[in-house]
Structure 1
Amino acid sequence: MTQETIKVAGMSCGHCVMRVKKAIEAVEGVRKAEVDLPNKQAVVEYEEGKANLEKVKAAIREAGYEPL
Structure 2
Amino acid sequence: MTKHTYRINGISCGGCVTRVKKTLEAHPDIEKAEIFLNPKGKTIISMKEKLSVKELQKQLNQIEGYTITEII
TM-score (norm 2): 0.78
Gap regions ≥5 residues in structure 2: none
Partner of 1:29: 29
Partner of 1:14: 14
SS at match of 2:3: strand
Q: How many pairs does the alignment contain? A: 66
Query: Which amino acid is 1:66 matched to?
Result: T
Partner of 2:68: 67
Retained in 2: the 8 A contact 1:29–1:47? yes
Identity of aligned residues (%): 32
Retained in 1: the 8 A contact 2:8–2:68? yes
SS at match of 1:45: strand
Higher-helix-fraction structure:
1
Q: Give the Cα separation in 2 of the matches to 1:2 and 1:58.
A: 20
Deviation of 1:20 after TM superposition, in Å, equals 0.7
TM-score (norm 1): 0.81
Give deviations 1:3-40, integer Å, cap 9, x for gaps. 11110101111000001100110000211111111221
Q: Give the Cα separation in 2 of the matches to 1:60 and 1:41.
A: 15
Q: Give the Cα separation in 1 of the matches to 2:19 and 2:26.
A: 11
Q: Give the Cα separation in 2 of the matches to 1:5 and 1:17.
A: 15
- Runs of 4+ in structure 1 over 6 Å off: none
Gap regions ≥5 residues in structure 1: none
